[in-house]
Structure 1
Amino acid sequence: MSTILRRLPPTAVTGLRTGARHSLAEVYRPADLIVLGLGVMIGAGIFSIAGQQAATTAGPGVILSFMIAGIAALLACLCYAELSSTMPTSGSAYTFTYVIFGEVWAWIIGWALILELQFAAAVVARAWGAITVAAIANFGVRVPDKEFVQDVLVLAILVLLTGVVALGARVGLRALWVMVSAKLLAIGAVIVVGLLYLDPANFGDFHVPPKTLDTAPATVLEVLVGQSQAFGWFGIFAAASAIAFAYIGFDVVATSAEETVNAPKAIPKGMIRSLVLATVIYLAVALVMVGMVSYTKISVDAPLASAFRAVGVDWMVHVIDAGAVLGLTTVILVLMVGQTRVLFSMARDGLIPRGLARVSRRYHSPTRVTLVIGFVAIVVAEFVPVLTMQELVVIGTLFAFAFVAAGVIVMRRRMPHLQRGFRVPFSPLLPALSLLATFWLLVNLRVLTWVWFTLWMAFGLFVYLVYGRRKSVLARPHAPERVLSTGGRHRR
């Protein structure tokens, strides 16, 4: 019971608590945070998810689905903003939970974030390989052994981006600015050209009569309802759950708090602004997708590309390919940055080997943990069928969302004296609504996903009991005082 109640003191994260070996340089400014958010939230899915959900689940109402998903994400984002402004540290939800709920709960959230970020990097890398091979083929180049070429490309991109992250935040930031700017230009071309071919008749009344599917119930909600449905309002809300996957990533911005200038003010603004911009961009692409072609004629495999081909603008396919490749490259890069910062924090707290928290004096980056993460991502991407298990990324994220929303409510009661750079308006109402929205998204995940997630968390709890509980810095006598004793004089 003492371990469950053992909490990190707020002063350990509201002030500097580590020496030169374990501190990170301040690199990010407000504009950089927006680029970081757009880098991870806008990937290849922007060219496909609207068409896929319109064709199979929501019809033209997919535009409403994007709005609903955006509101749900914004509620979670506001909660992250308050906690990040109060505890500007690289651990994000893991550290918030450590302070508010205790060590064992922090471990659980940290373990869920490992699942989210590590698995996401592998999933996106695998998708990047497939899209890159398809883009090469679209230029008329014959690819003799697609599977082998894809494996080589996945290995190459993960090795390259691991090196970029290991070389330090400044190197990764410069590369990110270039790639995000290029993919936004591609998305802008898609929107501008697509608007020229809109047909208002394709929108209908945004509502398609519901229909019962012949497939067996797969999600928790479908099991409770007893059947699978598409279209109608049920389909619109179900599509919102799938679309929420596109908005996941703003929480990665919170992991950069320790490296951000004036983090209590900058992090909330960066997260909220990047999420709002991403929502507007997704809505614009969804509007173009649904407006160009009737939802009944959308190709699920390549919806946006097929839509442009249908209206005779074949050259846009190459623009879409370029945007998709760049989009997924930035997603992998930001995910790896976020993962290194979470594991860095867990190592600094002793819950995983502390040697992983060593900061390279040459690159001012947690190089050791970066190399470990890159190696694991390569193994998972190359040898695990990750594309069939991508919902595990979503469930890990949503689990963290729930604790962050609850954390805002609890912290307001337990620690009202802490200085906050941002406060969630209408609290506890909005955090409670965030909890409800997160619960809705969770019950729209497959039962099989819940089974795998439960097994992963059970294994994680075993690891904590065997290692983390004993090695934690809080398990040592006078730990809070020693954690705080190194002060801020080594801050770069």
Structure 2
Amino acid sequence: MGELHERGVLLSTIFRRLPPSEATGLRTGARHSLAELYRPADLVVLGLGVMIGAGIFSIAGRQAATTAGPGVVLSFMIAGIACLLACLCYAELSSTMPTSGSAYTFTYVIFGEVWAWVIGCALILELQLAAAVVAKAWAELAIGAITNFGIRLPQHDLVASLLVLLILGLLTAVVALSARIGLRALWVMVTAKLLAIGAVIVVGALHVEAANFGDLYVDPQPLTTPSTTVLSLFVGQGQAFGWFGIFAAAPAIAFAYVGFDIVATAAEETVNAPQAVPKGMIRSLVIATIIYIAVAVVMVGMVPYTSISLDAPLSGAFRVAGVDWMVHIIDIGAVLGLTTVILVMIVGQTRVLFSMARDGLIPRGLATISRKYHTPSRVTLLIGLVAILLAEFVPVFTLQQLVVMGTLFAFLFVAAGVIVMRRRMPHLERGFRVPLSPLLPALSLFATLWLMVNLEVLTWLWFGLWMAFGLIAYLVYGRTHSLLAPQREPVASGRGRHRR
């Protein structure tokens, strides 16, 4: 009987859920709170800052050359629709629970603590690893841009390492010292990179030849590099080009759109969040999709897909067209693009860990708000340090698909959360509702699973190991230190959630 009792206690603590009133009571002094900073236009800039990186100058060309041909334009549309479904689900939950925890807090309220911890681990993996991966890519791009200006840098590896340290250290300091300065810097950089992309679209359009589009369809061909995705284990190797190639390119392209979910982490700091956050997420995703499609049209139209350079697709196309000066514009746009991605990733990761610490699942000292800077500077500095260590000492490029895996795993719970919350908590006030529910959330689940099975088997194995480690950490620390743990004493006002 004693053993059965212990099992019952364990299950009751693992599946305890955060009351919706405590998840949304952010202005009452019941939780540590972040100052309101963002307005609707700021959220759009935040979304564009993370969704439009250097990949906008390369992904269309690479997918056109290897997988979809001119039909890559259709692939961008398909990927945009899949991400829009997930975005609508995020919009409803964010409008109902405008908190910095995003998918972590949504899951805490709807499914329970252990699942919230799992999603928290997925988000940590996504954002922390992404910051390191993008910083490494930023260093390589910066070196390439300098080289294209005719300047030769000695000791490539040393220079790259110093540049990684520079960009991560600088952006971490910006986020830690002043959220307002970070927002202003983001506005400047996003505006500059949009101008660079605008130049690419306008100048490139002058060199588009209609014959390069064909009928957006290329006859199917065998894959030159067979994949080891989960899907290939069940249906065998697919084909390049044709309709299969168009749909196969969509998952790789959808990864470029990933990042709109980070806008949800700014909800607690947004004025009139229930209405502003859904609009900010949806608008930024729609704008990003239009921009990506426009660049894809220019890319495919400038050169035949068989002649696209895999190393530098867009730069190579402009060189073929005799517009060499555009290479420097692309370099500047790419460097600025990755700079804003790193900045927003650090902001998003800070807010997720801040929320987990505030709930007691990780050390609560990380939820401290700096009296001088009015930011969660302690957790921000920790995130920056870990990102530097990962980028400098871990082969992060080999693990970059884990970033996508962590994101898609959260997408699953958010889509399911809309369906479950409609049934369990129909009384909650919502600033936005997913239309045609539960159909569209169910379609989002299906689309997310499609993207996940297109990831490598090895990625699934690494993700499983990370989750196993995370569950052990929860059982050892989070379960007993949670503010919902029955043995916890009440905490003082303003230092955590009040106990009833």
Give the alignment of 1:205-216 within 5 angstroms. 205-216=215-226
2:6 counterpart residue number? none
The aligned residue for residue 160 of structure 1 is 170
Residues 44 and 327 of structure 1 are in contact (CA less than 8 Å); yes or no, is this contact kept in structure 2? yes
What is the correspondence of 1:41-190 to structure 2 with a 5 Å cutoff? 41-190=51-200
Question: Residue type matched to 1:236 in 2?
Answer: I
In 1, Cα distance between the equivalents of 2:49 and 2:84?
Answer: 17
Give 5+ residue unaligned stretches, structure 1: none
Relative to the length of structure 1, the TM-score reads 0.97
Deviation at 1:217, TM superposition (A): 3.5
Task: Give the corresponding residue for 1:230.
Answer: 240
Report Cα offsets for 1:332-360 as digits up to 9, x if no partner: 00000000000000000000000000000
Query: 1:189/1:33 Cα in 2 relative to 1: closer, same or farther (>3 Å)?
Result: same
CA distance 1:370–1:20, change in 2 (3 Å): farther
The match for 1:442 is 452
Amino acid at match of 2:93: L
Which residue of 366, 389, 403 corresponds with 1:393?
403
- Which one is further off, 208-217 or 322-331? 208-217
User: 1:272 is matched with which residue?
Assistant: 282
Report the CA distance between 1:208 and its aligned residue: 1.0
1:336-392 CA-partner distances (Å, limit 9, x unpaired)? 000000000000000000000000011110000000000000000111111122110
Q: 2:54 aligned with 1:29, yes or no?
A: no
Query: TM-score, structure 2 length as denominator?
Result: 0.95
CA displacement at 1:22 relative to structure 2? 2.1
Match of 1:39 among 49, 54, 77: 49
Matched, 1:359 2:349: no
Quote the Cα distance in structure 2 between the aligned partners of 1:164 and 1:128. Answer: 17
Q: Report the Cα distance in structure 2 between the residues aligned to 1:193 and 1:368, rounded to whole angstroms.
A: 46
Q: Residues of 2 paired with 1:9 and 1:485: CA distance? A: 18
Q: CA contact under 8 A between 1:250 and 1:274: conserved in structure 2? A: yes
Shift of residue 15, structure 1, vs aligned partner: 1.8
Structure 1 contact 18–487 (Cα < 8 Å) conserved? no
1:225 positional shift: 1.6
Question: Which residue number in structure 2 is paired with residue 12 of structure 1?
Answer: 22
How far the C-alpha of 1:250 sits from its partner, in A, is 0.3
Change (3 A) 1:456 1:307: same
1:383-410 deviation digits (Å, cap 9, x = unpaired):
1111122110000000000000000000
- Per-residue CA deviations over 1:215-243 (Å, capped at 9, x if unaligned) read 34311112212224211111111110001
Amino acid aligned to 1:296? T
- In 2, the alpha carbon distance for the partners of 1:423 and 1:213 equals 42
- Measured in 1, the distance between the counterparts of 2:223 and 2:260 equals 34
CA distance in 2, matches of 1:17, 1:4: 28
Residue 366 of structure 2 aligns with an amino acid whose one-letter code is: L
Letter in 1 for 2:434: V
Contact 1:7 1:102 in 2 (8 A): yes
The answer to whether the 8 A contact 1:55-1:298 is kept is yes
Counterpart code for 2:444: S
1:214 positional shift = 4.5
User: What does residue 328 of structure 2 align with?
Assistant: 318
SS at 1:22 equivalent: coil
Judged with a 3 Å threshold, the aligned counterparts in structure 2 of structure 1 residues 483 and 77 are, in CA distance, closer, same or farther, namely farther
Distance in 2, Cα, partners of 1:424 & 1:487: 35
Distance 2:62 2:194 in 1: 21
**Residue identity matched to 1:411:** M
Give the conservation status (yes or no) of the 8 Å contact 1:16–1:487: no
Residue among 476, 493, 496 paired with 1:466: 476
Is 1:284 aligned to residue 294 of structure 2? yes
Q: 1:344 aligns with which of 354, 366, 373?
A: 354
- 1:89–1:256 contact (8 Å) kept in structure 2: yes
Aligned-partner Cα distance in 2 for 1:224–1:420 = 41
Superimposed CA distance per residue, residues 298-350 of structure 1 (whole angstroms, 9 cap, x where no aligned partner): 00110000000001000000000000000000000000000000000000000
Cα shift at 1:99? 0.1
Q: Judge conservation of contact 1:82–1:268 (CA < 8 Å) in 2.
A: yes
More displaced stretch, 368-377 vs 214-223: 214-223
Give matches, 1:192-203, under 5 Å: 192-203=202-213
| TM superposition shift of 1:176 | 0.3
Equivalents in 2 of 1:172, 1:34: separation in Å? Answer: 15
Partner of 2:443: 433
Alpha-carbon deviation of 1:84?
0.2
Q: Give the one of 292, 302, 312 matched to 1:302.
A: 312
Contact 2:14 2:479 in 1 (8 A): no
How has the CA–CA distance of structure 1 residues 129 and 487 changed in structure 2, closer, same or farther, with 3 Å as cutoff?
A: closer
Judge conservation of contact 2:87–2:282 (CA < 8 Å) in 1: yes
Following the alignment from structure 1 to structure 2, what is the Cα–Cα distance between the partners of residues 239 and 386? 23
C-alpha distance after superposition, 1:29-49 (max 9, x if no partner): 010000000000000000000
For residues 211 and 159 of structure 1, what CA distance do their matches in structure 2 show? 46
Find the residue that maps to 2:373 and give its secondary structure. coil
8 Å CA contact 1:162, 1:336 repeated in 2: yes
CA offsets per residue over residues 69-96 of structure 1, 9 Å max, x none? 0000000000000000000000000000
- Distance, in Å, in 2 between the alignment partners of 1:242 and 1:483 is 47
Contact kept in structure 1, 2:31 and 2:358, CA below 8 Å: no
- Listed as ranges, the matches of 1:236-275 within 5 Å are 236-275=246-285
- Helix, strand or coil at the partner of 1:256: helix
Q: Aligned in 2, Cα 1:487/1:267: closer, same or farther, shift over 3 Å?
A: farther
Q: Is the 8 A contact 1:72 1:434 kept in 2?
A: yes
- Cα deviation, residue 18, structure 1: 6.9
Q: Name the amino acid aligned to 2:387.
A: A
Q: For residues 317 and 216 of structure 1, what CA distance do their matches in structure 2 show?
A: 32
1:448 and 1:17 map into 2 onto residues whose CA distance is 44
